[in-house]
Chains A and B, each alone.
Chain A
C-alpha cells in the first residue's frame, strides 16, 4: 500500500499548474434542435425553470437545467416576436424584460406555457432604427426599479432621446434619468451592497473597457448624451464639459460629478468586450468569492472576477481572470441561489474566441478551493493581498512580485494606447500571522493608474501555485 501511494505521489507532479477543471465544472446545456439560440438574457424562475430570450426575439423556458443529467432538459417555446431583449427577471408570476424599445411585463395568464399578455411598462426613450441603439436592463433594485443603460446611436451619437444615459424605470412606468456619460454598455447589475454597476466598452472617451458605478447623478465619462441634461430637472448639468486628450484624474478635478471607472478591464490584456454584471450572493456555494462581482467577457468568452472597495467615496478595485473556455461570446449571466452559474452567448456581429455561433452553459463549483488572490486592497503605501489559503512565507519576498502601472488618454478618439507608464517598486513584504494576507510596501503608486501586479513567485503553504497570477487594480484614490 505504501509503495502504491509513493508511486502515485511520484507520478503526480507536486507543482502542477492548477486548471479550471479542478475547481469549476463547465457544461453545455443542450438547446432545442434546429433553433438559433443567440441568448441575450436569462431569468431564473421558480421550480428550477430557466427562461432565456434570443437576439431574434424568442422566449424559451428550460426545465432540467439544474439536473445532473443535462441530456433530459426540456424546452418550451413561450413566444416568438420580441425586440432584442437584453435583460430579464422573474417577478410575481411574470417575466419583466428590457427590450430594445421598452420595459415590458410578460405573463402567461392561462398557464398554457405561452405568453399571452405583453404589458408595456415604459417606452419613454428614443429609438430610431439604428441597430446599435441597444438597451440593457437590470433586475429590480430594492425599490422595484429597473435600471436601463441606453447605448449611443451607432455607439457614437445621441440621435434619439436619452441615448448615452442610464434611466431607472419605476414599477409605475415612470422613467427617471439617472446618469449621463454612457457609451456602449454590455450589461448591468448590482454588487452585494445593492449599488448598480454596468460595463462600458472601449471606444470614444473610453480608453479601455471598464466596470462603472452608476451613482445616481454621476457623469460616466462620455459627453455625447449630455445634450439631454436640459430635458430633466433632477440632475444639475455639468459645470464644465470635459476636455479632449486629457486624463480622467485631471477631468475629475474640473467636473465633480465625473465618476471614474471603478475597475478598468485593460483592453486586450483582460478582454475586449465586457458584458454581464452579477455578484456572488450564494454565501460560498459558488466557491470562495462571496459577494464579489463577476463580469462576462464577450470577445474572450470568459468570466472575470472583480474585487471592489470604496475609497474616498468612489469604488475601485482589481480584476482577476476567472473562468474561460466558453463556447461563444458571453452576453447574459445569472447565478442561482444553489451556486449554479448560467451563461448564454452569441458571436453574431461581434467575434469571440469561443467559436460556436451561440451557446447556453452552466458552471458549478467542484468544492475544491483554488489558491487565489481573494482580495487586493489599496493602502497609502502599497496593497494588502488576501489569499484563499495560507501562503508559504518563504515564497513571499519582493522578487516574488512585479508591478507595472499605466493609464489611458481620455479622448474623443476611439480607445487609447496605454500611456504614462510607471514602474512602482515593491520595497518590502510582510506576511500576516495567519499567513493568509500579505502586505506589499510599494514606492511609486500613481493615482488614477491601473496597477498590474504579477505574483509569479507566490506559493501556498501546501506548495501550490496561484491559479491566476495577474491582478489589475485601478487606483482612483490613494487611501490616507
Chain B
C-alpha cells in the first residue's frame, strides 16, 4: 500500500497516531452518527426523532428510555426490544407501544453503535454523557449469550428508568418522628426516630413506616430557573406546613382529611431555594400533596409522591365489528378459545359462533356483540382476542370427528382412523348465512348453523354424504368436551355446563355417550345422505 511503499510517510503517519491518542481510544470519531442514524434508524424513529408517521412509532426525542445509564440504550440496540412499552409523546404522556425493534448488534459495528447512540442521546433535547467504545464492548461481552430480544418489562427490571432524571427537590432528606399530635408540633424540639435520603426528590410518606401517630419533616433545595412569584399548593391528612427559605408559605391546620388544600405565594429568584415541609398524622387516613407553579411553567409541578398513582387503565383500542342489518359478519383472525383457523360468524340479532376449520367443529357460541378488531387491527396485531359478547360457551377443543373402537376408548386428539380431514370452505346463502363444507375420510359433510333469535340458540344441520363403498366403522362426532354433561328431562337432550343445552336428532338407535365431561354421538351411517340436527340453546 501507499504507506509501505513510502517509508517516510509511514513514519509521518506513526507520528500522527502517537500524537493523537484520542484517535486510538475513540474510533467512533470516524463514524458519523447522524448519517448512520438517518440510514438505519430514521425510517421508524423519524429524522427529527419524534417517531415516524406522527409518532406511530416510538419517539427518541426526550425519551426517558435513553436517559441515565448508557447500558439500557446499548442493550436495546444490541438485542432489540419487543412487547408493551410506555413512552411519553407530545400528545400522550403514557403512550403505549407494542411493536418490535429488531436487534442491531449483528448488523452494526461497535463504533457505529457508539456514533449512533451519542447522536441520539444528545439530539432533539436529549442530553446525556457520551458513550465510549468500551461501554459497547462491555455490554456486548456481558450479553454475548443472549439470543432473544428484550421484552420491555424485562429490560426495565434490569435497567430501571429513574422517574425523574432531575429530581424536583434536590438533596432531599426526610426525618420521621414518632408521636401523637392533634396540632403540628414544634419539630425543632423533637428528636427524629429515623432519617432517610429521598432520592426521587419527592415529598412522600412512604418511609414513615407507620400509618398513624407519626410526623415527618423534609428538607431540600429547589432549583429556580426564573425570577418571579411562585405559588405552592399544599393538601394533607392530617396537618402540614411549607417553608421556603425559612418563611412559612402556607399551612394546613389541625386534623382532617385531604381536600383542605391551601395555597401561598412567594417571590423567588433564580438559583437554589431552601424548602422545608412539616407534616403530622394523628389517625385514620393519611397523605400529603404539594404542587408548585411559577413563571414559565405550563402546568403545576408536583413535588409529592404520596398520591397513590392511579394505574392508568391501558386504553385498549376498540374497533367493534358488527354484522350489517339483517346480514352476517365474518372474522378470521385469531379468536381466543378456538384454533388459529377459526372462522367467526356473527348474525344480526346477537347470536354468534366460531367454527374451527382445523377441528371441523363448532367450538364457541356466544351472544350479543360479535367481535372487536382492536387488538389485531392496530400495530402488528399480536395475540388472540376473545369474542366481544356474553354467555360464551366453549363446546369443544379437539377434532370433532373421530373413531372410537370402544365406548370407553379415549377420544383421540389426532382423530385416529380418519385418514383425511379436509376443510373445503363455505358458501353464503340468504342474508350471507354460511354453509361449511368439509371432508372426513371419504365422507362429504355440509354443516349449516342457523341462529334462533327467539329461543336464544343455534340449530345446526349436518348432512353427511356417504359413498356406497365407504361406510365408516365406529365414526363418532364429538359434541362437547370440557363441560359437565348431564341428561336433561326431555329425550335426547343434554345439559352442557350451566348455561347450555343441546338436543340431538339423528337417525340412530344408539344413544349419545355421556362420559366424563364429554358428549359423543356414535354415527350409524348409511350410503347416501344422512342428516343430524343439533339444537343448541342457552338456558
| Chain A residues packing against B (C-beta within 8 Å) | 36, 55-57, 79-84, 99, 101-102, 104, 114-120, 123, 127-132, 202-204, 207, 267-269, 272, 299-300, 347-353, 355-357, 409, 411-417
Given A123-B357, A268-B40, A272-B43, are A351 and B57 neighbors across the interface (CB < 8 Å)?
A: yes
The answer on a CB contact under 8 Å between A414 and B44 is no
Cβ-neighbour of B107 out of A128, A355, A412, A414 (below 8 A)? A414
Of residues 327 through 363 on chain B, the ones whose CB sits less than 8 Å from some CB of chain A are: 329-334, 340-341, 343-344, 357
B493 proximal to A (CB < 8 A): no
| Pairs across A and B, CB under 8 Å, 16 listed | A36-B377, A114-B432, A118-B426, A119-B424, A123-B422, A131-B334, A203-B102, A351-B44, A352-B52, A353-B43, A357-B53, A357-B56, A413-B105, A414-B80, A415-B107, A417-B107
Stretch touching chain A among B122-130, B243-251, B293-301, B379-387: B379-387
The answer on a CB contact under 8 Å between A351 and B103 is no
Q: Which residues of B contact A348 (CB under 8 A)?
A: 377-380
Secondary structure class of chain A's binding surface, majority of residues = loop
The answer on a CB contact under 8 Å between A414 and B106 is yes
The answer on a CB contact under 8 Å between A129 and B340 is yes
B159 proximal to A (CB < 8 A): no
Q: Which residues of A contact B331 (CB under 8 A)?
A: 57, 81
Residue of B nearest to A124 (CB): B422
How many cross-chain pairs have Cβ atoms below 8 Å apart between A and B? 132
The answer on a CB contact under 8 Å between A99 and B330 is no
B35 to chain A, nearest CB (A): 10
A174 to chain B, nearest CB (A): 12
Q: Which residues of B contact A416 (CB under 8 A)?
A: 106-107
Q: Which residues of A contact B381 (CB under 8 A)?
A: 131, 349
Given A81-B332, A101-B341, are A131 and B382 neighbors across the interface (CB < 8 Å)?
A: yes
The answer on a CB contact under 8 Å between B43 and A414 is no
A259 to B425, CA, bound (A): 37
Q: Which residues of A contact B341 (CB under 8 A)?
A: 101-102, 123, 127
Cβ-neighbour of A99 out of B109, B332, B377, B426 (below 8 A)? B332
- Interface range on chain B (Cβ under 8 Å from partner): 35 or more
Cβ-neighbour of B380 out of A267, A300, A349 (below 8 A)? A349
Given A80-B329, A119-B425, are A349 and B103 neighbors across the interface (CB < 8 Å)?
A: no
The answer on a CB contact under 8 Å between B106 and A117 is no
A31 to chain B, nearest CB (A): 16
Q: Which residues of A contact B333 (CB under 8 A)?
A: 57, 83-84
Residue of B nearest to A56 (CB): B377
1/0 contact string of B503-527 vs chain A (CB within 8 Å): 0000000000000000000000000
Given A129-B384, A351-B53, are A101 and B340 neighbors across the interface (CB < 8 Å)?
A: yes
Cβ-neighbour of A413 out of B106, B376, B379 (below 8 A)? B106
A352 to B54, CA, bound (A): 11
Max count, chain B CB within 10 A of own CB: residue among A81, A119, A128: A81
The answer on a CB contact under 8 Å between B43 and A352 is yes
The answer on a CB contact under 8 Å between B340 and A411 is no
The answer on a CB contact under 8 Å between B380 and A131 is yes
Given A101-B357, A300-B43, are A347 and B104 neighbors across the interface (CB < 8 Å)?
A: no
Given A80-B329, A414-B80, A417-B109, are A355 and B384 neighbors across the interface (CB < 8 Å)?
A: no
B145 proximal to A (CB < 8 A): no
The answer on a CB contact under 8 Å between A268 and B39 is yes
B181 proximal to A (CB < 8 A): no
10 shortest A-B CB distances, which residue pairs?
A81-B330, A413-B106, A415-B107, A349-B380, A83-B332, A351-B52, A351-B44, A268-B39, A120-B425, A414-B103
A120 to B423, CA, bound (A): 7
Q: Which residues of A contact B477 (CB under 8 A)?
A: none
A163 to chain B, nearest CB (A): 13
A83 to B382, CA, bound (A): 14
Q: Which residues of B contact A84 (CB under 8 A)?
A: 333
Residue of B nearest to A354 (CB): B53
B99 proximal to A (CB < 8 A): yes
Q: Which residues of B contact A352 (CB under 8 A)?
A: 43, 52-53
A55 to B381, CA, bound (A): 11
Q: Which residues of A contact B329 (CB under 8 A)?
A: 80-81
Q: Which residues of A contact B501 (CB under 8 A)?
A: none
Given A349-B99, A355-B54, are A116 and B379 neighbors across the interface (CB < 8 Å)?
A: no
Q: Which residues of B contact A55 (CB under 8 A)?
A: 377
Cβ-neighbour of B104 out of A56, A57, A414 (below 8 A)? A414
A132 to chain B, nearest CB (A): 8
The answer on a CB contact under 8 Å between A127 and B340 is yes
A81 to B370, CA, bound (A): 13
A118 to B44, CA, bound (A): 38
A274 to chain B, nearest CB (A): 13
Q: A268-B40, A355-B54 are in contact. List 7 more A-B contacts (CB 8 A).
A: A55-B377, A81-B332, A99-B332, A272-B43, A348-B377, A412-B147, A414-B104
A158 to B207, CA, bound (A): 51
The answer on a CB contact under 8 Å between A355 and B52 is yes
Residue of B nearest to A356 (CB): B53
Of residues 233 through 259 on chain B, the ones whose CB sits less than 8 Å from some CB of chain A are: none
A347 to B43, CA, bound (A): 11
A353 to B39, CA, bound (A): 12
Q: Which residues of B contact A203 (CB under 8 A)?
A: 102
Q: Which residues of A contact B112 (CB under 8 A)?
A: 417
Q: Which residues of A contact B424 (CB under 8 A)?
A: 119-120
